A and B are shown apart, each in its own frame.
Chain A
């Protein structure tokens, strides 16, 4: 178990390093002239500067060093929690992130809880309902759920619940009631994915012999579904949960922009708009880290939920 744990953590670190590296090379190698982007991000024109000033600016941004030397330097500092200086806001990126992160974590956390409740609830009802038209309508609902653009759904909810009914504020980030609409908007695509997978899971589980056995020993349909159906059908949800973190982070960028909430997602949108390279690099690295950590936790917790899977090394090659 210990050996498995070490190997899995090492793999996660490797993936994280790879993600940082790929993003670094996209941001620093892909543009034709990184210096001009960085200068215009901090409000200067390349053409207005003398060659001496340009050389000074290049040294200031660390662009005079070789590509790999600069990369090593940035990675070393990032490992110590220093993501450099924002070009357009003139503040340390780490401080910016620390200021914005709680907002996004609250939003993402409540959205994840809502999506699990909504997705599992819908699939559970779909499996329980016996009236064919309603059942097939509910089975089609998830694919509608992830066909809807997040930003459009947000606008629709604002129109209906904020402007139409006046139940919740349309924008803002203060208070609990301003969290309701963004969290619902962010939850629906993930809920659709959970519901679809769980609906298929139920379809497979009903064919298993242990369901017949459960009926044979006299359990009611509700008992069979809860005790034997759900527990077996819900296992893929756990894996999926880890994978959905990426979608939630992506959705947060859009949702925070629509509802003008001061989170990391909106910071990302503004940073890209101003081509603030250090901020973009830091946000991508942070969200990759969130993805890797959650998936690592899911992998480590899996044996607790499904005892059939054990990570005991049987052969040396298994680790």
Chain B
């Protein structure tokens, strides 16, 4: 048993470099045959394509990407995905179970639930994007400042981050919402502030790691200013883990904004925000469980896909 374990580990250790070596060795193999074609510098797209090739082979990854793409499409152009009007009521067809015309059934006013979920995507996903964008901006600048400046500035910023981490995320958001009022925008801001600390910490750790690498020193010796070094050399090499965190936190932000609007602090009821949909459906749980459960299932699918994407990206990196 232990020996099989060791072999497995060795396999893995040898396995990953050989996969990484693949793009480098393939051009050299057919070299004698196609020696006439001139060497061309691989542009950004071909590099991106070769980097994403191992990803395309994973069916789980593709499925997750498809779900996320569908949600993004719903956020950008909900009309493409559904022919119904999200606010058109039909009292005769209220609370019908899911069927061929109404895929998710209808709610208490006869509105098509699938259409409302699709139209709600623009509110919920925009809110989550805003929250993550704010957190990225705030977290990146705090982390870079802290990792770069060091000394007292670093100590001060890190103490403030420690304090923010001690406040439970949802409660900090509740305090902010109490102060600035209800609605999609305040909720997005509140959630964004809550995830700044994580970004700041990750960015700082990465900046500290990259700062001491030889190529940064070389860039500095070559006469680049600190700002140039930061922009051209440190940030591009430090942003990998931050991007993974952003993908994860995008899912977390969807959950947090939905939670806050479920509690009644998001968009007012006619708006089809995901949390609001589930909150109104809650009153019909006995007679029509799909009104609350199906929109929630859609949220689960989107967030699970985002987590899966983040995890696969992380595994590929290692």
Which residues of A line the B interface, CB within 8 A?
14-16, 18-19, 22-23, 26-27, 30-31, 143-144, 146-152, 155-156, 158-159, 163, 206-207, 211-212, 215-216, 221, 245-247, 249-251, 253-254, 257-258, 268-269, 271-273, 275, 277, 280-281, 283-284, 287-288, 291-292, 295
Q: Is the CB of B163 within 8 A of A22?
A: yes
Top 3 A-B pairs, shortest CB-CB distance: A250-B170, A152-B296, A18-B163
Q: Is the CB of A149 within 8 A of B171?
A: no
B155 within 8 Å of A (CB atoms): no
Q: Is the CB of A23 within 8 A of B285?
A: no
> A251–B169 Cα gap in the complex (Å)?
10
**CB-defined interface of B156-176 with A at 8 Å, one 1/0 digit per residue?**
000110111111111110111
How far does the Cβ of B201 sit from chain A's closest Cβ, in whole Å?
12
Q: Which of B2, B258, B275, B282 contacts A216 (CB 8 A)?
A: B2
B109 within 8 Å of A (CB atoms): no
Q: Is the CB of B160 within 8 A of A18?
A: yes
* B5 neighbours in A (Cβ, 8 Å): 206, 211
> A260–B177 Cα gap in the complex (Å)?
22
> A152–B294 Cα gap in the complex (Å)?
10
Q: Is the CB of A253 within 8 A of B175?
A: no
- Can you name 29 A-B pairs with beta carbons within 8 Å? A18-B160, A26-B179, A27-B178, A30-B179, A30-B180, A143-B304, A143-B311, A146-B307, A147-B255, A147-B300, A147-B303, A149-B296, A152-B297, A152-B300, A155-B282, A211-B2, A211-B5, A215-B2, A246-B166, A246-B168, A246-B169, A249-B171, A253-B263, A273-B265, A275-B178, A281-B175, A284-B171, A287-B171, A295-B166
Q: Is the CB of B170 within 8 A of A31?
A: no
* A30 neighbours in B (Cβ, 8 Å): 176, 179-180
How far does the Cβ of A185 sit from chain B's closest Cβ, in whole Å?
13
* Known contacts A284-B174, A287-B168, A155 near B285 by CB under 8 Å: yes
> A31–B166 Cα gap in the complex (Å)?
23
> A1–B60 Cα gap in the complex (Å)?
51
Q: Is the CB of B168 within 8 A of A155?
A: no
Q: Is the CB of B299 within 8 A of A152?
A: yes
Interface size on B, residues (CB 8 A): 52
Q: Is the CB of A147 within 8 A of B167?
A: no
> A319–B274 Cα gap in the complex (Å)?
49
How far does the Cβ of B315 sit from chain A's closest Cβ, in whole Å?
11
* B166 neighbours in A (Cβ, 8 Å): 15-16, 18-19, 246, 288, 291-292, 295
B9 within 8 Å of A (CB atoms): yes
* A268 neighbours in B (Cβ, 8 Å): 171, 174
* A271 neighbours in B (Cβ, 8 Å): 178
Q: Is the CB of A150 within 8 A of B259?
A: yes
How far does the Cβ of A216 sit from chain B's closest Cβ, in whole Å?
7
Given A149-B303, A246-B167: 16 more A-B contacts, CB < 8 Å? A18-B159, A19-B166, A148-B300, A149-B278, A155-B278, A155-B285, A156-B293, A158-B285, A250-B169, A250-B171, A251-B170, A254-B259, A280-B178, A284-B172, A284-B175, A288-B168
Q: Is the CB of A249 within 8 A of B168?
A: yes
Cβ < 8 Å to A, chain B residues 1-50: 1-2, 5-6, 9
B241 within 8 Å of A (CB atoms): no
Cβ < 8 Å to A, chain B residues 192-251: 251
> A22–B308 Cα gap in the complex (Å)?
35
Q: Is the CB of B278 within 8 A of A151?
A: yes
* B172 neighbours in A (Cβ, 8 Å): 23, 26, 284
> A30–B180 Cα gap in the complex (Å)?
7
How far does the Cβ of A95 sit from chain B's closest Cβ, in whole Å?
21
Q: Is the CB of B175 within 8 A of A23?
A: yes
> A287–B170 Cα gap in the complex (Å)?
11
Q: Which of A22, A149, A156, A159 contacts B255 (CB 8 A)?
A: A149
How far does the Cβ of A227 sit from chain B's closest Cβ, in whole Å?
15
* B178 neighbours in A (Cβ, 8 Å): 27, 271-272, 275, 277, 280
Cβ < 8 Å to A, chain B residues 128-173: 159-160, 162-172
How far does the Cβ of B170 sit from chain A's closest Cβ, in whole Å?
3
* A291 neighbours in B (Cβ, 8 Å): 166-168
**CB-defined interface of B251-274 with A at 8 Å, one 1/0 digit per residue?**
100010011001111000000000
- Among residues of A, the one whose C-beta sits closest to the C-beta of B179 is A30
> A277–B176 Cα gap in the complex (Å)?
11
* Known contacts A250-B169, A253-B170, A149 near B285 by CB under 8 Å: no
B125 within 8 Å of A (CB atoms): no
B286 within 8 Å of A (CB atoms): yes
Q: Is the CB of A144 within 8 A of B304?
A: yes
* A23 neighbours in B (Cβ, 8 Å): 167, 172, 175
B127 within 8 Å of A (CB atoms): no
* Known contacts A22-B164, A143-B311, A291-B166, A152 near B174 by CB under 8 Å: no
Q: Is the CB of A212 within 8 A of B2?
A: yes
